[in-house]
Chains A and B, each alone.
Chain A
């Protein structure tokens, strides 16, 4: 099998204590501190002010990192296919829907209903950027980031085009928080490009391949990453630590209970 060979054109990262990739990168490397007090939630300039206020946390998070990653890549957002990945979607919207359905189903808000679809962030992104390229919204529970990265690499190589990957999960709230575990806000985005066409040397590049067999998630190195381990998108953290350290060793991420995604620099 030919491994998928792709490069990372740009990186974006957002968590309340690590609101930006340069801050996160320094904190992962032990060269900088998380911000104190932490930010509350991002305010993506790409949304109109009223939309920015009304947007669910998941949409605000996703659009913030998507916009930064695309800007840093120097590419045209309208041309990029996008892959949005979230383990659980917007848990506050789900809590609202289930609470309202239990109490007064006829009063369900139409806006909250259409915001409850898993591809809500993808929808707002393509509308905000007038992007008519393909967009998708995926989940794979606690291996969602690995599954999203595989889909992004696959789209990138199969169609020889740059793609946008956006990963995010939000805080679990309400009764649902008893069974669905996710703490705080965490989002990250990458623009991937085929290795054969990347313009700038020095960008991190990986061969992705599938290796049969189970593996545990790689241990986190930094206290800054460990502080985010309760978020449902935590399976992204080993990858972003590896980016921060510019590691030259293969990184193995669990893709399913029985399959490993191997990323070889």
Chain B
């Protein structure tokens, strides 16, 4: 008889078992740096931030943003026109990049459309369209006639749209846990694949600039008036960005090459709705579970893409966690200064950045940051480095104390 995987009598959590690696057959991301992986890699190599002065909306706050230039000029195909909104346009732009849509079609052919799951993360989905409607209510207080699609004014809009756009027939679910959303999609997809519910899974996430996040984070006094400076001694808040990203996951059935998902860890802080646990307890539990599923020791991690938002508290807690758990040789950096904090899309953007590091043997620095906070250990780097990356880790921590850590590897062979 199987026993449950923790012992309630002692209140101790048992470490999760090692999981079989999953191949990342294809991946893509579209950020303020440009459409697809190449412009992001080029920006990371050049050490050039893609942030710009906030020009979003009628009365922009004084801050800097990571805005995707091509969203406005992207049109949905006529058959999908009913889904039109900024977030779904960015999703479409993102799907077309890096031939990702071709990889999806091939997987659909290989496995059948009902055997491909879609698990997408988003924090605000298409709330921007709802905000637009509220700004243009008619005399009776009704939504304008051209903005009344119930499928758009709801958080499942993104996944529902992508499910239709890719003509998929498998499970379709939205994970919406704020800034950990599109990291946790890897966990949900891995379980479906492990249990044989599906043979492939498309994971990812999209979040777009909207009033809710710009003015909401402003109300929490978490926005920097200047480009964000992760882990800087004088950091003064985040820069918000928008992005899309997707990855195709499959079980490994041959000796082929390519990067793999090795593990994930999910946890809760049980501390505060908008502030991390001061000792990073939740983040460390997620780290422990991710390493256990990957059957790796922290000393084996070559590179960490940090959550590194440039908020005072996140960076303080995350720097302390990295300093106490990783060797000095681990190269840890934050890419938030390149792309902005893309919120519900941050998990997939930074998964893509971690996979780029593995594939190109290039670990980015922390752009905009001038002087590291005294709490940073030798792991946290301002400058980039070129070296082989066998194992990379990506941190995503969200409101509600929702944490996820992912582990990626260069291949299935150890």
- What are the residues of chain B within 8 A of A176 when measuring CB–CB? 130, 153
Q: Is the CB of B219 within 8 A of A108?
A: yes
- What are the residues of chain A within 8 A of B170 when measuring CB–CB? 210, 256, 259
- What are the residues of chain A within 8 A of B386 when measuring CB–CB? none
Query: Which B-chain residue is minimally distant from A155 (CB atoms)?
Result: B191
Q: Mark B81-109, 1 if CB is under 8 A from A, else 0.
A: 00000000000000000000000000000
CA distance A135 to B285 in the complex (A): 13
Which one of B130, B176, B192 lies within 8 Å of A117 (CB-CB)?
Answer: B176
Q: Is the CB of A258 within 8 A of B4?
A: no
**A110: CB under 8 A from chain B?**
yes
Q: Mark B1-34, 1 if CB is under 8 A from A, else 0.
A: 1111110100101001000000000000000000
Q: Is the CB of A87 within 8 A of B273?
A: no
**A106: CB under 8 A from chain B?**
yes
**A223: CB under 8 A from chain B?**
no
Q: When A105-B211, A109-B219, A127-B272 are in contact, do A136 and B267 touch as well, CB less than 8 Å?
A: no
- What are the residues of chain A within 8 A of B195 when measuring CB–CB? 2, 4, 154, 157-158
Q: Is the CB of A117 within 8 A of B148?
A: no
Q: Is the CB of A119 within 8 A of B398?
A: yes
Comparing B47-55, B136-144, B229-237, B330-338, the segment that makes contact with chain A is B136-144
- List A residues 91-130 near B (Cβ within 8 Å): 94, 97-99, 101-102, 105-106, 108-110, 113-120, 122-124, 126-127, 129-130
Comparing A19-27, A178-186, A233-241, the segment that makes contact with chain B is A178-186
Q: When A94-B127, A176-B153, A256-B171 are in contact, do A139 and B212 touch as well, CB less than 8 Å?
A: no
Q: When A108-B215, A193-B4 are in contact, do A180 and B153 touch as well, CB less than 8 Å?
A: yes
- Hey, which bits of chain B sit against chain A, CB under 8 A? 1-6, 8, 11, 13, 16, 59, 112-114, 123, 127, 130-131, 133-135, 137, 141-143, 148-151, 153-156, 159-160, 163, 169-178, 184, 187-188, 191-192, 194-197, 211-212, 215-221, 266-274, 281-282, 285, 398-402
Q: When A119-B178, A160-B4, A180-B150 are in contact, do A126 and B400 touch as well, CB less than 8 Å?
A: yes
Task: Kindly provide the distance from the CB of B223 to the nearest chain A CB, expressed in whole angstroms.
Answer: 12
- What are the residues of chain B within 8 A of A99 when measuring CB–CB? 134
- What are the residues of chain A within 8 A of B131 when measuring CB–CB? 97-98, 101-102
- What are the residues of chain B within 8 A of A180 when measuring CB–CB? 150, 153-154
Q: Mark A206-237, 1 if CB is under 8 A from B, else 0.
A: 00001010000000000000000000000000
CA distance A137 to B156 in the complex (A): 12
CA distance A32 to B160 in the complex (A): 39
Q: When A123-B402, A256-B163 are in contact, do A158 and B3 touch as well, CB less than 8 Å?
A: no
Q: Is the CB of A122 within 8 A of B154?
A: no
Q: When A119-B177, A161-B4 are in contact, do A179 and B148 touch as well, CB less than 8 Å?
A: yes
Q: Is the CB of A113 within 8 A of B220?
A: yes
For chain A, the count of residues having a C-beta within 8 Å of the partner chain is 76
Q: When A136-B184, A259-B114 are in contact, do A120 and B273 touch as well, CB less than 8 Å?
A: yes
CA distance A99 to B133 in the complex (A): 10
CA distance A122 to B309 in the complex (A): 22
Given contacts A117-B177, A194-B2, 9 further A-B contacts (CB under 8 A): A2-B195, A78-B11, A79-B6, A89-B176, A114-B273, A119-B402, A150-B197, A161-B5, A256-B169
Q: Is the CB of A134 within 8 A of B149?
A: no
CA distance A122 to B273 in the complex (A): 10
A and B contact pairs by CB, cutoff 8 A, 30 listed: A1-B196, A87-B156, A88-B154, A88-B155, A97-B131, A99-B134, A101-B211, A102-B131, A102-B135, A109-B219, A110-B216, A113-B216, A117-B123, A118-B178, A119-B399, A127-B269, A129-B270, A131-B270, A133-B267, A138-B176, A147-B171, A154-B195, A160-B5, A162-B4, A176-B153, A180-B150, A180-B154, A256-B170, A258-B114, A259-B114
Which one of A127, A147, A197, A259 lies within 8 Å of B3 (CB-CB)?
Answer: A197
Q: When A108-B215, A197-B2 are in contact, do A98 and B176 touch as well, CB less than 8 Å?
A: no
Q: When A97-B212, A117-B400 are in contact, do A194 and B153 touch as well, CB less than 8 Å?
A: no
Chain A CB within 10 A, most for which of B153, B154, B178, B188: B154
